[in-house]
Amino acid sequence: MTTTPFGTRLAEAIDEYGHLCVGLDPHPGMLTDWGLSDDAAGLREFGQRVLEACAGRVGVIKPQVAFYERYGPEGMAVLAETTSSAKEAGLLVIGDAKRGDIGSTMAAYAEAWLNPANAFSVDALTVSPYLGFGSLGPAIKAAQDYGAGLFVLGLTSNPEGAEVQLAAAGETGAASAEQGKETVAGSVIAQAAAVNGAPERLGGIGLVIGATTVQLAAEHGIDLSVGRPPILAPGYGAQGATAAQIRTGFAGAWDQVLVNSSRGILSAGPGVSDLVSSVASSRADLD
């Protein structure tokens, strides 16, 4: 079963709607701020308002799965509904679940999230390579079979990430690689590029590169443009990165970048018109 490859669909969305991706992070405090109940009903209303504000104005949304899992089966049912509604509205959906495991378990995660026949199916899924990049093999195969995408954690913005990501590849313990040695993150990024080959515009295997940590790529000799991976860049707005800093940081890879904004957009709620204004402002700032 195949469809138009994710990289092609994402490139078209960026061309039409720009670089903004809106994150759906319905944590309890956000629901309370919006005057919504801290349950599945509040979760559903939250999603409906965000989708109304985003449809026809941005190309991509990114639900944070943890905030739906928190409500048990009812929450996951809302996630499935929200995902389905988003697709019907023409939005691409990135499931931010950061799945990572080995063998048949990874294959099961991939089927759950990437097979279009399943209720949770998304256009792309965030995954963790830190059981070894090869552990992502079943997810890569599923993504290729279904025309879906993956966003592989590369250089994340959390301070603890450097302990692993900037260690010398093949070694342990060091918080940063020695001069001239390839980092773990560099190895991951190179292997993702190899899977993509040489796509005309964007590959299907992307990367998560924090907007506040992108400078580490240049510092460690990592070329983010090789293999044309789509890049999901959290950290804009509420986390401190400005549009100018992001464009400069990603430089030659800028046309591959999808900039996520969650709190920066959602804090404008609960009114749909205010969310629409926030989306428009962010789009103009980035583009």
d(Cα 42, Cα 18) in Å, to the nearest integer? 30
d(Cα 274, Cα 131) in Å, to the nearest integer? 42
Judge whether 187 and 133 are in contact, CB under 8 Å: yes
Secondary structure (3-state) at 57 = coil
CA distances from 241 to 2, 202, 264 (A): 37, 24, 11
d(Cα 176, Cα 164) in Å, to the nearest integer? 9
DSSP 8-state assignment for residue 177: P
d(Cα 223, Cα 193) in Å, to the nearest integer? 10
CA distances from 87 to 115, 275, 279 (A): 14, 19, 19
Has 98 been annotated as catalytic?
yes
Cis peptide bond upstream of 159, omega within 30: no
CA angle 248, 254, 255 (to 5 degrees): 155
Catalytic residue among 62, 87, 98, 181: 98
What type of residue sits at position 14? I
DSSP 8-state assignment for residue 224: T
Beta bridge partners of 260: 21
Beta bridge partners of 232: 208, 258
Structure tokens at 50: 């965000």
Tokens 């931010």 identify what position? 96
Structure tokens at 159: 């301070």
Catalytic sites, residue numbers:
98
